Amino acid sequence: MTPTRWIAIGAILGAAGVALGAFGAHGLEGRLTSLGYAGDDLAKRLANHETAVRYQMWHALSIVLVGILMGTRPSLWWNASGWAFLFGVLVFSGLLYVLVLAGPSWRWLGAIVPIGGLSLIAGWALLAVGALRQS
């Protein structure tokens, strides 16, 4: 992937994260309440949305960083890091967003969310290996 594409992907994820965060701050609670969620279940869903947005935003920035690094000194490790971050955001944050709005029949998706988390961890490890290989 080219450096500019990594930067663009990170920027798009960042913009989407801001939009989803705004929805979480201004409309999600009312939407969930209208779907019948209340009490601890409502609080957990709101907290899960906040977690999804936070991880998406941090990893949007990490993908921009990958693009910047790739522009200075291309590395297969850094490129792999970008892919791991992207996959991780889509699976981890993406499935948390689905679970926030989905009914009980979708709970099984919760078992897949950690795969996204592992991908995010792998992205950071690949970024570190790439940095060590550059020195």
Q: Between vectors from CA 108 to CA 44 and to CA 86, what angle results, nearest 5°?
A: 80
Side chain identity, residue 18:
V
pLDDT digits (tens, 9 = 90+) for 120-133: 999 999 999 999 99
Residue 48's pLDDT is 97
Q: What is the value of pTM for the model shown?
A: 0.95
pLDDT of 89 over the 90 cut: yes
pLDDT digits (tens, 9 = 90+) for 47-80: 999 999 999 999 999 999 999 999 999 999 999 9
pLDDT of 135 over the 80 cut: no
Q: Are 97 and 28 in contact (CB under 8 A)?
A: no
pLDDT digits (tens, 9 = 90+) for 103-118: 889 999 999 999 999 9
The chain-wide mean pLDDT, for the chain, equals 97
Residue 134's pLDDT is 85
